[in-house]
Each structure stands twice: as structure tokens, then as C-alpha cells.
A and B are shown apart, each in its own frame.
Chain A
Amino acid sequence: MSGTFVGMPAFPEAARAALGDTQLRHNLAHATATIRDRRARVVAEVPAWEELRLVGAAVKESALVDLERHLLRLEETLTANGAVVHWAGDAAEANAIVARIARGHGVDEVVKVKSMATQEIGLNEALAEQGIAAWETDLAELIVQLGNDLPSHILVPAIHRNRAEIREIFRDRMGEVGRAAPEDLSDEPAMLAGAARLHLREKFLRAKVAVSGANFAVAETGTLVVVESEGNGRMCLTLPEVLISVVGIEKVVPTWAGLDPLLRLLPRSSTGERMNPYTSTWSGVTPGDGPQEVHVVLLDNGRTRALADDVGRQALRCIRCSACLNVCPVYERVGGHAYGSVYPGPIGAILNPLMRGVGSDAQVDSLPYASSLCGACFEVCPVRIDIPQVLVHLRSRVVDGHRGDPVPKAEAVAMRATAWAFTDARRLALAERASSMAGRVLSRLGRSTLPGGRATAGRLPGASAWTNARDLPAPPRESFRAWWRRTDGGRGQDRS
């Protein structure tokens, strides 16, 4: 099973550890640059792109401001279409519902299509506790799951792994959980994908129960939509007898016509394609075609908390395209893991505090500082979420929440310094020169060790990342990922 993010160190520490991991930084820089270029090319092809963004934002906003009505309508239409609707207030309730349905069918395994909602609620772990194996079928998720690892990017969750590592993971682990990788497996991407195809086909053909999320849920028609590339989604949505979809309540789209701008915006913003290879829509049960028992679990888990924040509400418009990640200078350097959440990058920096609540822990409170406020995320966001505005708003809430503290919160101070250093190159140069001073500031804040048992670097993360390898601190005794595996994501390591 993949790990969860529980006990993840707060952003400044995690970011510094990640910055020392050159493989991760290299892969991320390559990935984000490539996807950025692809996106720019296909967006430039649409003359009315800005208008389309306005409409996309309006569709999602119209659903949010009248959410109760649309949710009730969705429940009604889904039910009329033969689906069973469940409501889950939090992760535990959602997991219990899915487990109960799966157990009711006497299965000890389910196939899964990549879904951030199920990752958010830790469904795989919850099912494992009930003796039910949840097989991830998305290639990247499979790599993450077999590697007993965590996803680092919304769109390409295994971007921190290179092909040689993937080959090792497949060779070592596939045989333990099903059809083994071929003996002569090379590290050619086509060969690796072929091995995944064979390994998973066996699971698809015998699976009785599938679990999915949904990109959109149309209230007017009771239709769920899954957008994907590989066809594993189609397999999960078509082959099993029972389909359970876990859907955040913010996924509601009021009308069928409202899908239009969103289906035009998402693929271009996300993978930089005019359209993704496969989009499936289904409205409950279709006699004689596909699953004949269809469940939809409507999930809150903090979404209503975000909804109550007048400035932050717009974050719920997010269609998870990951464009904001790919333009973010902070994300590109520290990677997804440093955010300590299934939602990384600029959107994660606002969504996590909004959903979990400012003041819930140091990790959450440090996130609004994981940004330079450069504004690139807002410019690319297909549904016009003003992330910098929400960040500033959340920072003031974090500060308000800590007003009574006798000394400033370490994370807050450190991240303010980082954010400041990221704002432009001139300041970075200054930061570099001032780094010994910054180091003294940081060590005064009482950080003695980093994850992996490394002593504090004594440098601003921004400075060392931007001034190339010569300035990097001596390699840690243990890489971030090695530390992660050893301590089970920090849970096994005492942190004060």
C-alpha cells in the first residue's frame, strides 16, 4: 500500500530535504518545463481562451454558490438513473461505506482508477485493514504503489522516478502481487508500459468491484465524468459488476451544457493536449452494458469548511489540471512531497489550509508561505482561481491564529524568508550572500535536525537551489525518500 502523508514534516523542513535530492529536482524541472511548453502551444491555438476561462470559472462558481440545490438535484437524478447515493461527512465515513459495499460482495480486492479524493481519504489503507487489496491501475499510481511510495505530482505522480528505478520496482514487486514482469524487462518506456498492461489486464478481467472518482458530476442529468489517458479508467468503469465512485461535493456541474467549457479547458491546461485520449460519461446503470450496480459516495471531508470562507471558496472551483504546479518556481524546486498532502503546489498551499482548517497543525499553517506570490498560478488557472489572493488571506489568518504565541512560529518566520527570497533574482543573489546570516536565524529558531538526521543546511533553500550544485550542502547521510521509507513517512521518527 502506498503511504499516507500523516506526520509529514512542515513545509520548510521537507522542502530543504527535497532540495538536496538532485534526481527529484532534475526530473521535476524537466517535467514541469515540458508540460508548460505543451500547454502554452495548445492554449495559443484557442483565440477565445480568456473568454473560455471566464465561462469555466462561472460554471463552477454557479454550482458552489447554490450547492445545496445542485447536490439535491444530483442525488435525485442519480437515483432515478439507478445509482445508489451515499453521503460521507469525512474520510472515515467514506472509507466505511466503500468497505461495506465491497465486503457485501465478498471480494478481497478492488481495482481502482486514479482518484485524488480516494487518495485524500486514505481509502487503500482503510480497505487493507479490512483485508481488501485496492489495486491502482494508472501506470504512475502503479509505480507509486509498487514502490511503496507517495505521489509527487497531480498529473504525473511518479515523476520523481526515472526509468531505471521503475524497472527495478517492476522486477522486484510485480511478481509478489500478481503477474510478474518479464525476465528480459528493459527500461524502455514502451516495454515498461507493456509489462504494466499484462500485469493489470489479469486484474481487470477478474475484478468484480471497481472504485473510481469523478472529474465532474452533472446535477441536471445524473451523469459522472472521468477524464483519462491510458484506458484503465474505461476498464474500471466498464468491466466489473459493481462500480463505486467517490465524488467530492465540489465536483457538481449544474447542467449538461456546463460540461462544454470544462472539457475544453481541462485537457489543454493539464496534459497540453487538445483532448485527452479517453473521456467516459455514465448516468447510473445502463442495462446490459457495464456495471449493473452503481454507487456514488458524495464526500465532504472539509469541503464545507472551505465553502464557508468567502475569499477561499474559489479554491473549490479547482478542476485538478495541475497547470499551477507546472509554473510554480517553488514547486519546481521542492517537488510535491514537501507539501505533505495529496494536493501539492500552489493549489495545495491553499486547499489544505482551507479544508483542514488554519491552526490545525504546523504543516498546514506553513503552507500559505510556500509561495513567492509571483502570480503565475493565477494566470494559467483555467477556472481563474486567484491563488495569490487566497494565500495572502490565509497568511493573515495564520498570523491572527498565532497572535498570542510568546515567540513567532518558526515555520511562519522561515517561510516568510523563503517566500521573500523567491520573489526575484536580485533578491536571490542577496539571499545567497546573506545565507550565513539566514542560517543563524534558522538555527536560532531551534531546528537541530532535518528528516534524515541531517544537520540544518544553514542556507535558504531558495538560494542553494538557484545557484547550482557547487553550493549544495554535503549530501545527506540518507536521501529524502530513503528517510521516508525508513520512518514510514515520519511517523516512526520522533520530532519535537
Chain B
Amino acid sequence: MSAREEILGRVRAALAGVDPSGPVPPAPRVPVTDPADLVNLFADRVADYRAVVERCTAVELPERLAAALPPGARVVIAPGLGVTVPGAVVDDGLTALELDQFGAVVTAARVGIAETGTIVLDHGPGQGRRVISLIPDHHVCLVRTDQVVADVPDAIELLDPARPLTWISGPSATSDIELDRVEGVHGPRVLDVIVVEA
């Protein structure tokens, strides 16, 4: 008998006589709030993770972006970003080793979650392959105000599980040494989130 048949047989035997209907009550949701409050909460919660949060209009964005990027750093951006970043290289399948030579990356996002201060990338247009927002040490992420939702269940509803997803809440961190929080182990050590008025 294959391992598969054996395991499934053991599962069946273990549950003989057990009612297979496990009712799941609906998960609680946070009360609906004013969209402006939602964006404020999002910005506060992102900042709590020691990420840099800025807010601006679409017109101000290019200037803010230029100011946020580390001076002299090589910058990579995802195809379809929709904002011009002077001097930036558009990713066209760079290798990890090549990406290691870049100091910063600019991407868009799919969803912002206010309650938890999380941005979620689904690696669609403007966000790029997972690797580009992972290797460079500084990640600038653009979130539109109309992308901000209240809480995790709202994000889950919007997100397509068929796509790879990266949920980001602050810069990479560890508390493995005597529980001292250290920002940045392997992921980007600096995270800038620019919230753009939609």
C-alpha cells in the first residue's frame, strides 16, 4: 500500500463515528469607519513598525519619491509602475546577483490594511516579481488611499490566492538576540511607504 493510502486509511479510521460537519461562525469585523480615518489609522500603524510614512498627492509624488530614495543609489522599478523615476532600471528579469547591486526598489502595492499597518503585494503590474522587492536594502512602496481597507478579512476578500502574495508589516526584523528588536536581517532594512491621494 502506498503512503498516501495508508495515511488516508488512518485518517478514516481515526475519525470513524465523528461528525464531519464543523460549523464555522462568521469572523468578527471591525466597525465600518470613515475612509479618511481609515487612511489615518493605516499611516499610524505603518509608522508604528518604524517604517517611514509619507503622504502626498499624485502631483507631488515624483518629487517625494526622488527625496525618499537614497542619494546615489541604483534603483530598480517594476514594469508598469506608472511614475517616472529618473535613472531607474525597469526590471526585465534581472538575476538575484544583479539585483544585489541595487540599493533601492520602488513598487506599487495591491492592498493596505489599516488595522495592522500591512501592505500586500500581489506582484501584478507596478509591483514586479517577488525578488525585486526582496534583495535591495531599501524598499519604497506606493499605496493609493483607495487601496486601504479596514482589516484582514477585507484584504482576504480582495486578494487572489492564485497569485503569489507578500504581506509586509514594517521592515525585516528579528528579536532573536535577547529579545532586542533589530531592524533588517534579510529583507530590506528600510521601508518607506508613500500614501498617495487617489
Stretch at the interface among B58-66, B103-111, B116-124: B116-124
For chain B, what secondary structure do more than half of its interface residues adopt (helix, strand, loop), or is it mixed?
loop
Name the A residues within 8 Å of B188 (CB-CB): 231
CB < 8 Å neighbour of A304 from B10, B116, B170: B10
Given A51-B28, A256-B161, A289-B129, answer yes or no on A71-B11 (Cβ-Cβ < 8 Å).
yes
State how many angstroms separate the Cβ of B9 from the closest Cβ of chain A: 9
Q: Which residues of A, 437-494, contact B by the 8 Å Cβ criterion?
A: none
Q: Are A166 and B161 in contact (CB under 8 A)?
A: no
Verify A193–B177 contact, CB threshold 8 A.
yes
Q: Mark B94-135, 1 if CB is under 8 A from A, else 0.
A: 001100100000000000010111100001000001110010
Collect the chain B residues with CB atoms within 8 Å of residue A110's CB.
none
Tell me which residues across on chain B come within 8 A of A256, comparing CB atoms: 156, 161
| Residue A192 interfacial (CB < 8 Å) | yes
Which of A234-242, A378-386, A393-401 faces chain B? A234-242
**Is the C-beta of B180 less than 8 angstroms from some C-beta in chain A?**
yes
Judged by a CB distance under 8 angstroms, whether A69 is at the interface is yes
CA A64 to CA B20, docked complex, whole Å: 8
Contact A286 B177 (CB under 8 A): no
Within 8 A of A (CB), among B9-40: 10-15, 18-28
Select B164's contact among A137, A192, A271, A280, beta carbons within 8 Å. A280
Do B23 and A257 have beta carbons less than 8 Å apart?
no
CB distance from B173 to the nearest CB of A (A): 5
A-B pairs with CB below 8 Å: how many?
Answer: 241
Main SS at interface, chain A: helix
Residues of B within 8 A of A71 (CB): 7-8, 11
> Contact partner of B169 among A234, A237, A276, CB < 8 A?
A276
Q: Which of A87-95, A171-179, A363-371, A426-434 contacts B (4 or more CB under 8 A)?
A: A87-95
Q: Given that A66-B22, A283-B164 are contacting pairs, would A300 and B169 also be in contact in the complex, using a CB cutoff of 8 Å?
A: no
A403 contacts partner chain B, Cβ-Cβ < 8 Å:
no
Interchain CB contact under 8 A, B24 and A280 = no
The interface size of chain A toward B, counting residues with CB under 8 Å, comes to 95
Given contacts A143-B176, A197-B185, contact A66 B20 (CB under 8 A): yes
Tell me how far the C-beta of B43 lies from the nearest C-beta in chain A, rounded to whole angstroms: 14
CB distance from B123 to the nearest CB of A (A): 6
Whether B187 contacts A234 by the Cβ 8 Å rule is yes
A415 on the interface (CB 8 Å rule)? Answer: no
B185 touches A275 (CB 8 A): no
CA separation between A261 and B29, bound complex, in Å?
Answer: 10
Interface residues of A in 105-120 (CB under 8 A from B): none
